[in-house]
Chains A and B, each alone.
Chain A
Amino acid sequence: MARSSVITQPLSRRRLLKGGAALGIGSAAALGLRPAWADPWGQTNVYAKGVEEGPEVALAIRRESLEIDGQAARPYTINGESPGPMIRLKEGQDAVLRVTNLLDEPTSIHWHGLILPPDQDGVPGVSFAGIAPGETFTYRFPVRQNGTYWYHSHSGLQEQLGHAGPLIIDAAEREPFRYDREHVLLLTDWTFEDPMAVFRNLKTAEGYYNFQERTIGDFFADVREKGFAATAEMRGMWAKMRMSSRDIADVTGSTYTYLLNGHSPEENWTALFKAGERIRLRVINGSAMSYFDVRIPGLKMTVVAADGQPVQPVPVDEFRIGVAETYDVLVAPEDDTAYTIFAESMDRSGYARATLAPREGMAAEIPERRRIADRGMEAMGAHGMDHSSMSDSDMEGMDHSNMSGDDREGMDHSEMDHGGSMARESAKTRGNGMLAAGEAQPGSRYDQAGIGIDPNARRTLVYRDLKAFTPWPDRREPGRELELHLTGNMERYMWSFDGKTFSEVTGPIHFEKDERLRLILVNDTMMEHPIHLHGMWMELENGQGELIPRKHTLNIKPGERVSALITADAEGSWAFHCHLLYHMDAGMFRVVKVA
């Protein structure tokens, strides 16, 4: 296929969509077609053009019938597509984004990861009133950053049904890496259920979607492997806590179809390349609830950006992407052959898949899914670190000293090193007792990818690997520390900060204008939480000193203590929440007020 012919195709289609959107139509033309930005040939530096190209973009939000994975569905659509079109802006532009609500309910769009004025952030009730049915809201903000981001509804549970899309900002200056072609890979989790029904199932029946619970068979298998005493002790501990060590994902492949660029694994969306090219993959986790482990068997991936911000290159075989995170990776396939892009859900209940191939219609082997892991002692880490508020009976059974080396085998060893890292990280405190900027907190596990990852199986990205190119502008030490605990009650599906759901708190979290503070997040729950701060970067103190990376979303593992430096330069009110959609809706949400 000649390159010229395949490149002109998306251009004409884009014009069609743009014209359609301007007229307030545009959905009919797109019915049944793949999202326009998911063009098989992606983009090259030569033809660096997008689908809904800025600075002026019109977006129409509808609810309409579209097929998803070959079945009838009614997703939210943006200019007739679900997930929505890619918005392509350029650093230095003044973006004008007109969003028209053609639904019979209010809606909104939040520009995830963008630094912008507080009234342009798109969170109903925090930044603005929301967009009423029939209304058009015009977002205007200066684009002063570049990289891979995304956008999504911040109204109710709309995001679950495809109300999201990629947002790419081209750099004004040359980026610290080069590539010949790029593809956007947007991961989402689709359900044919009503999201409110999903939420009700979670609220009224614990473990509703988990069909990988431990059974009596697992018990006997463990007894054979580790002996009766060790197995009984471990199981007894979990049973005593009334928790499931298999509670890795609340909503699973039992209802979700995992989509890559809107396509199911069977549909096998294909990204094309020519052998010898260097390809930039902009990977966005636009899921409501699903973490993914992404790999391309046969290809080394070089991570070059995290959450849109450049990082020093890290060659990996696999990376875990939390909900709302983005990673940019470079791959350089030498052979004229197909490769599977494999994104396995963290609980192993399903996967999203696409193919990277030199021609359409090719497929490579799909790897076998790993078995679901059992959470081990690490999930209790934070509990073990603050004994004060735990009763003795709760603490029994969590005493790490009870565990012999043998007990630890069989458990997820990748998570087991936190005793060691605690000791290593106890150094470098300043006069006021606070750690120096950039130092990792005791209780952090930045050298672990997380549950279900065997560090010996392949090279997997960990937070410790992320290293900025140059120090971020604010070099001040933090003036104070703000500690927030991530709390929850799995039985009732209550999720909160410091034990209080959003409806229970009295006021916002206060940041003083222009202060430099350290936010410490302690995960007291047994689940991962991707914590997202709107309006300001969080500089993740992963032990890289001056070169700590900055992110908009931090994955906090169970029992982990994570810290980030924040420059509170964005006056106004901002949302701060867990980006697991149903956790947020259950109350894991706060307002941060910078004044």
Chain B
Amino acid sequence: MNTRIPMIAAGALLATLPLSVALAEDGYDAPADWPAPMAKHNMAMALFDRLEYAVPDKGHEELVWDFQAWYGGDINRVYLKSEGENVQGDGEDAEFESLELLYSRLIADFWELQGGIGYQGGVFSDDHAERGYGVIGLQGVMPYGIETDLAFQVSDEGDVSASFEGEYDLRLTQRLYLQPRTEIAVAASEAEAFGVGEGLNSVRVGMRLGYEVTRRLAPYVGAYWQKQYGDTADIARHHGDPTEDTGIVAGARLMF
């Protein structure tokens, strides 16, 4: 029975009313060569939540991606997540702001606990500072339908940081939606090479207007505002980068 404890625990979390009648534990007497009456299916899915070209007011134009893919069953999944950008015209390679491989487990109806390893740095080259990190996060849907991704990172240098992303789809018509989103980054210690200061790093707020041509393809346009704070802003100023910026984006949400 002991091996079933994790399964039962998950079942209990999932059941809104886990009132189970006591049942005998023996199986039913199907011969071994019979198939299972119901197959168990693993699924896979890949999503570019954002694949967009950003034109900021002050900074450089960028190609930005926000990607995630998963494979697995109802409870246990493996995730591959990545966010990054390729700054246009700076002669440098694209950069993974994050590239993460995560194990994910459903711990409540709307919440997955995720943990794994991540990488930050250049995609093809060593144009950018690199670091590896461990990550633990919570991904899910908050009441009122706010899609949430909260993650804590500890880098190979021991730097601790956290990020929050939230977005919400407001349905204007069956295919047209308005999507406010926000990203907040904080850090417990400075990592200057990555432009990270201690404390609140940055806040980014955006709004996108998308049209679902199909459920799998939704081109959109949008605008954002972002600001850096405290030490992080100082680092940016030191590099001659703006600490507050607005911009417009055009791109698509793609699901495979």
Given A125-B34, A130-B35, A587-B74; 6 other pairs, CB 8 A cutoff: A125-B35, A242-B142, A487-B17, A489-B14, A506-B23, A587-B38
Quote the shortest CB–CB distance from A236 to chain B (angstroms).
8
Report how far A484 CA is from B18 CA in the complex, Å: 9
B26: chain A residues at CB < 8 Å are 507
Question: Which residues of A548-573 have CB atoms within 8 Å of chain B's CB atoms?
Answer: 573
Q: Do A389 and B17 touch (CB < 8 A)? A: yes
Q: Do B34 and A215 touch (CB < 8 A)? A: no
Question: Which residues of B128-161 have CB atoms within 8 Å of chain A's CB atoms?
Answer: 141-145
B125: chain A residues at CB < 8 Å are none
Given A240-B143, A508-B27, A573-B29, the answer on whether A214 and B171 have CB atoms closer than 8 Å is yes
Query: Chain A contact residues: over half helix, strand or loop, or mixed?
Result: mixed
A386: chain B residues at CB < 8 Å are 17, 19
Of all chain B residues, the one with the shortest Cβ separation from A205 is B215
A491 partner, pick from B34, B110, B171, beta carbons under 8 A: B110
Report how far A503 CA is from B4 CA in the complex, Å: 12
Quote the shortest CB–CB distance from A389 to chain B (angstroms).
5
- Looking at B26, B28, B41, B170, the one whose CB has the most chain A CB atoms below 10 A away is B28
Question: Which residues of B1-52 have CB atoms within 8 Å of chain A's CB atoms?
Answer: 4, 7, 10-12, 14-21, 23-31, 33-41, 43, 45
Q: Does A123 contact B (CB under 8 A)?
A: yes
Of all chain A residues, the one with the shortest Cβ separation from B108 is A489
Report how far A126 CA is from B144 CA in the complex, Å: 42
Quote the shortest CB–CB distance from A55 to chain B (angstroms).
28
B21: chain A residues at CB < 8 Å are 482-484, 509
Of all chain A residues, the one with the shortest Cβ separation from B176 is A215
Q: Do B15 and A500 touch (CB < 8 A)? A: yes
Q: Do A124 and B172 touch (CB < 8 A)? A: no
B74: chain A residues at CB < 8 Å are 489, 492, 494, 501, 587
B172: chain A residues at CB < 8 Å are 215-217
- What class of interface size applies to chain A in its complex with B? 35 or more
B255: chain A residues at CB < 8 Å are 204-205
Q: Do B7 and A504 touch (CB < 8 A)? A: yes
Q: List 10 A-B contacts (CB under 8 A).
A: A203-B43, A204-B43, A211-B175, A240-B144, A386-B19, A390-B16, A506-B23, A510-B23, A573-B29, A591-B28
Quote the shortest CB–CB distance from B143 to chain A (angstroms).
4
Report how far A199 CA is from B74 CA in the complex, Å: 13
A472: chain B residues at CB < 8 Å are none
Q: Does B109 contact A (CB under 8 A)?
A: yes
Q: Do A506 and B11 touch (CB < 8 A)? A: no
Q: Do A498 and B25 touch (CB < 8 A)? A: no
Given A491-B141, A503-B40, the answer on whether A124 and B35 have CB atoms closer than 8 Å is yes
A573: chain B residues at CB < 8 Å are 28-30
Report how far A242 CA is from B140 CA in the complex, Å: 11
Q: Do A507 and B23 touch (CB < 8 A)? A: yes
Of all chain B residues, the one with the shortest Cβ separation from A573 is B28
Q: Do A487 and B16 touch (CB < 8 A)? A: yes
Quote the shortest CB–CB distance from B11 to chain A (angstroms).
5
Report how far A491 CA is from B14 CA in the complex, Å: 12
Q: Do A126 and B15 touch (CB < 8 A)? A: no
Report how far A204 CA is from B174 CA in the complex, Å: 19
Question: Which residues of A125-164 have CB atoms within 8 Å of chain B's CB atoms?
Answer: 125-126, 128-130, 154, 156
Quote the shortest CB–CB distance from A203 to chain B (angstroms).
5
Given A106-B35, A386-B17, the answer on whether A499 and B29 have CB atoms closer than 8 Å is no
For B, the interface residue count at a CB cutoff of 8 angstroms equals 50
Of all chain B residues, the one with the shortest Cβ separation from A210 is B174
Report how far A589 CA is from B18 CA in the complex, Å: 16
| 9 tightest Cβ-Cβ pairs between the two chains A and B | A499-B15, A125-B37, A204-B45, A508-B28, A239-B144, A240-B143, A503-B40, A573-B28, A498-B20
Q: Does A467 contact B (CB under 8 A)?
A: no
Q: Does A469 contact B (CB under 8 A)?
A: no
Q: Does B196 contact A (CB under 8 A)?
A: no
Quote the shortest CB–CB distance from A563 to chain B (angstroms).
14
Q: Do A199 and B41 touch (CB < 8 A)? A: yes
B4: chain A residues at CB < 8 Å are 506
Q: Does A585 contact B (CB under 8 A)?
A: yes
Q: Do A129 and B106 touch (CB < 8 A)? A: no
Report how far A591 CA is from B110 CA in the complex, Å: 29
A575: chain B residues at CB < 8 Å are 37
A201 partner, pick from B23, B33, B173, B215, beta carbons under 8 A: B215
Q: Do A129 and B31 touch (CB < 8 A)? A: yes
Of all chain B residues, the one with the shortest Cβ separation from A584 is B38
Contact with A along B203-229 (1 / 0, CB 8 A): 000000000000100000000000000
B41: chain A residues at CB < 8 Å are 199, 203, 585
Q: Does A278 contact B (CB under 8 A)?
A: no
Report how far A130 CA is from B33 CA in the complex, Å: 11
Report how far A437 CA is from B143 CA in the complex, Å: 42
Of all chain A residues, the one with the shortest Cβ separation from B46 is A204
Given A239-B143, A489-B14, A494-B14, the answer on whether A208 and B27 have CB atoms closer than 8 Å is no
Report how far A212 CA is from B17 CA in the complex, Å: 30
Contact with A along B91-119 (1 / 0, CB 8 A): 00000000000000010011000000000
Q: Does A485 contact B (CB under 8 A)?
A: yes
A22: chain B residues at CB < 8 Å are none
Of all chain A residues, the one with the shortest Cβ separation from B1 is A506
Q: Does A280 contact B (CB under 8 A)?
A: no
B17: chain A residues at CB < 8 Å are 382, 386, 389, 485, 487, 498-499, 522, 524
Question: Which residues of A203-225 have CB atoms within 8 Å of chain B's CB atoms?
Answer: 203-205, 208, 211-217
Q: Do B174 and A212 touch (CB < 8 A)? A: yes
Report how far A201 CA is from B18 CA in the complex, Å: 28
B11 partner, pick from A124, A216, A492, A500, beta carbons under 8 A: A500
Report how far A587 CA is from B12 CA in the complex, Å: 16
Q: Do A213 and B171 touch (CB < 8 A)? A: yes
A506: chain B residues at CB < 8 Å are 4, 23, 25, 27
A509: chain B residues at CB < 8 Å are 21, 23
Given A128-B34, A240-B144, A508-B28, the answer on whether A491 and B109 have CB atoms closer than 8 Å is yes
Given A499-B11, A510-B23, the answer on whether A126 and B37 have CB atoms closer than 8 Å is yes
Report how far A391 CA is from B187 CA in the complex, Å: 34
Q: Do B15 and A498 touch (CB < 8 A)? A: yes
Q: Does A241 contact B (CB under 8 A)?
A: yes
B174: chain A residues at CB < 8 Å are 211-213, 215
Q: Do B15 and A242 touch (CB < 8 A)? A: no
B106: chain A residues at CB < 8 Å are 492
Quote the shortest CB–CB distance from A445 to chain B (angstroms).
18
B10: chain A residues at CB < 8 Å are 504
Report how far A203 CA is from B33 CA in the complex, Å: 29
A124: chain B residues at CB < 8 Å are 34-35, 37
Report how far A28 CA is from B144 CA in the complex, Å: 56
B35: chain A residues at CB < 8 Å are 106, 124-125, 129-130
Q: Do B34 and A499 touch (CB < 8 A)? A: no
Contact with A along B185-215 (1 / 0, CB 8 A): 0000000000000000000000000000001
Given A498-B20, A510-B24, the answer on whether A489 and B109 have CB atoms closer than 8 Å is yes
Q: Do A129 and B15 touch (CB < 8 A)? A: no
A584: chain B residues at CB < 8 Å are 38
B110: chain A residues at CB < 8 Å are 242, 491
- Looking at B19, B29, B174, the one whose CB has the most chain A CB atoms below 10 A away is B19
Report how far A503 CA is from B14 CA in the complex, Å: 14
Given A239-B145, A507-B24, the answer on whether A125 and B36 have CB atoms closer than 8 Å is yes
Quote the shortest CB–CB distance from A260 to chain B (angstroms).
27
Report how far A587 CA is from B110 CA in the complex, Å: 18
A587: chain B residues at CB < 8 Å are 38, 74
B16: chain A residues at CB < 8 Å are 383, 389-390, 485, 487, 499, 524
